[in-house]
Each structure stands twice: as structure tokens, then as C-alpha cells.
Amino acid sequence: MCGRFAQAAKPEAIAQLFDLPPEAIPPYQPRYNLAPTQPALVLRRHPHTGQKELVFLRWGLIPSWAKDPNIGQRLINARAETLDQKPAFRAAFRHRRCLVPADGFYEWQKTSQHKQPYFIARKDGQPMALAGLWEHWQSPEGETLETFTLITTEANELVKPLHPRMPVILPQDAFALWLDPRTDVRTLKDLLLTPYPSALLRAWPVHARVNNPRFDDPTLIEPLPQLFSPDTWPPS
């Protein structure tokens, strides 16, 4: 599961990640504790022109057929293994795939006393791209909402001590395939079922303030020195 992530990279870093001109990056505030139901920056292909665009969508997918938009609070993640089977995700998987830029994501390790949050990021400090799906929903009154979900897969060896699942992080050479509406299902599933290499990531413990979405500042991703030793993670 992925229930929190950070989206705070400089616009030029996001432009480089997605091979976009700097002017294509809309103004946004750095976020260090993005939580479900909040808006986040998402890369998709425009539904009519097919051109790549960065837009703000609400986290928590609301299927087009949903009667109650509150269903989105339960659909913040989608399992890679069953995307083509679940009614909530099947259409979006075929037609509305997206990428979510992130500086990293949080997972929690159960201890004898509490759950200790950790932040997982790329070793090189560059933003990552999380695989997602997006949807367009309209209420009977005409209200329109565009939402997204993050896809999860089996955790790699770095994340596994924290949680058995992790968000799908796609390498740059897979972006075009993922966003292309013509890519076949088998190729898409192969992309999703391969966890991102542990050797390219690092994880460190952070303050439990991240548990409260009202806190949102750079200190949330700073390591706790008394708990962090890069030579002993992951634990054996």
C-alpha cells in the first residue's frame, strides 16, 4: 500500500524526468505529505489531443459509474495483478494510464511500541515516476471530478521489511509504453509486475509527524539520526 508520498521536486527536475519544456510545468506548491483526497500533479495524455500534459487530479479514483464519490477514499491504490479484472480499474487500465512524479513515498514498520514511518527515495536524489490510473466522474448535478490511483506491486528487498507491497516505479524507458493507448495488456502487466531495483533506492526513518496530514514541511523527510544507519539497512 502507498498512503503518503512527497511531491516537492523543482519544476526543472520534473521537466527533465518527463522530457517536457519548462513552460509545460504548471505552478505548484512543494508537498511533503500528500494524502488521499488531496490534489497532486499527474502526467497523462490529453483525452482528446493525445498530447502529454501535467494536471492536478484528486488522489482516490472514482470510477465513472460510481453513485457515491466517497468510493474514491477506498481506491487510493490498485493492485497490479488484477487491474484488468477489477470493474473499478478495468476501463482506466485500458484507456487512462498516467504517471505521478514523486520525490519518494512513505511506509510504516511495525515495532513493539508503534509504527515507525520510513521515507523511500531514489539514491541519486532525482524524482521518480509512479504508475497510476485516472478517471473522469460526473455527478447527477453536473459536478465533474478527475481522480487517480497509484498502482502497487510486490515489494522489493529494500521495502519488504516495511510492507509487502510498494508503488510501481517505472524507469524512464518505459514511460512511452505506459502512456501509449496502443500498448497491449501483456506488455503493460510485465512493466507493473517487476519491482523497481532495490539498488537504486534508499530508505530512512522519519518523524511520526507524517502520520498527521496537517503537517507538510521539508523536515518530514529528514532522517532520524538516532535510528538511521545506512550500513545496516535493510535489516537481515
158 grid coordinates = 529494500
Supply the pLDDT for residue 1.
Answer: 76
Average pLDDT, the chain: 93
Q: Which helix (H) or strand (E) holds 14?
A: helix 11-18
Q: Encode pLDDT of 64-87 as tens digits.
A: 999 999 999 999 999 999 999 999
Supply the pLDDT for residue 229.
Answer: 55
d(CA 2, CA 4): 6
| SS3 assignment for 193-233 | CCCCCHHHEEEEECCHHHHCCCCCCHHHHCCCCCCCCHHHC
Q: Which helix (H) or strand (E) holds 59?
A: strand 52-59
Rounded average pLDDT over 170-194: 95
Count the alpha carbons within 13 Å of 53 in the hemisphere toward its beta carbon.
11
pTM for the predicted model, two decimal places: 0.94
Fold (CATH) for 5-222: hypothetical protein yedk fold (3.90.1680)
Q: Encode pLDDT of 108-159 as tens digits.
A: 998 888 899 999 999 999 999 999 999 999 988 888 999 999 999 999 999 9
Supply the pLDDT for residue 236.
Answer: 42
Q: Encode pLDDT of 33-53 as tens digits.
A: 999 999 999 999 998 898 999
Name the percent of the chain lying above pLDDT 90: 87
pLDDT band at 234 (very low <50, low <70, confident <90, very high): low
d(CA 97, CA 43): 9
Residues tagged active-site: 2, 107
Q: Encode pLDDT of 13-37 as tens digits.
A: 999 999 999 999 999 999 999 999 9
Q: Are 41 and 53 in contact (CB under 8 A)?
A: no
Domain boundaries, the chain: 5-222
Supply the pLDDT for residue 226.
Answer: 65
Q: Are 58 and 71 in contact (CB under 8 A)?
A: no
* Signed CA dihedral, 18, 6, 60, 129: sign only: positive
pLDDT band at 228 (very low <50, low <70, confident <90, very high): low
Report the candidate in 101, 90, 92, 98 with the shortest Cα–Cα distance to residue 46.
98
